[in-house]
Amino acid sequence: MLSLEIPPNLQECVICSISAAAAYEIPANIVLAVAEKEGGKPGQWVPNPNGTYDVGRMQFNTAYLKTLANYGITANDVAATGCYSFHLAAWRLRQHIQHDTGDLWTRVANYHSRTYTHNQTYRADLMVKAAKWADWLAGRFVTYDVARTSVQTFAPVGAVTASSRPSAELASVPAYVPRQLINGRP
């Protein structure tokens, strides 16, 4: 069995971030970086100077809850333990990546704020955290560069490799690291 070396206090965050990234087809290292940056806890409500609150593990701002209410999503859903808030965050990150303007990191930092100074500060820290998580993922999972036309796989020592895994199962492996995106290239 492959040891992932996940400290017990990070297991939910890592597992939920990776599963949410796979479900919404966004880089796992970005979801992990946002989760680390936000640093929320289940049930947590953090007041903001503008009268809103940041809620739960992924610190969803209550200003977004009005939109989410149209889908039956409540503050209690966002504040709860488990993977739901990570999936909701990945859905929102995907929206920013697909529809916002600017480079990838500016769009991802819109998760925190669209205000230039707040966005740029968050963006700079997020890039460092995403690079760290990319290295962590690459050391534990088969990864590939989604920006390349031909897929190259890299397996850490002791990992399950393509030759030991049925091809249908290999096709469903969700872990990936977009190296060009980490380094700021398109």
| pTM attached to this predicted model | 0.76
Separation of alpha carbons 55 and 42, rounded Å: 8
* Tens digit of each residue's pLDDT, the chain (186 residues): 345 678 887 899 999 999 999 999 999 999 999 999 999 999 999 999 999 999 999 999 999 888 888 889 999 999 999 999 999 999 999 999 999 999 999 999 999 999 999 999 999 999 999 999 999 998 888 766 655 544 444 433 333 334 433 334 333 333 343 444 444 444
Domain boundaries, the chain: 8-140
SS3 letters across 121-169: HHHHHHHHHHHHHHHHHHCCCCECCCCCCCCCCECCCCCCCHHHCCHHH
CATH class as words, domain 8-140: mainly alpha
In sign, the C-alpha dihedral spanning 147, 151, 156, 162 is: positive
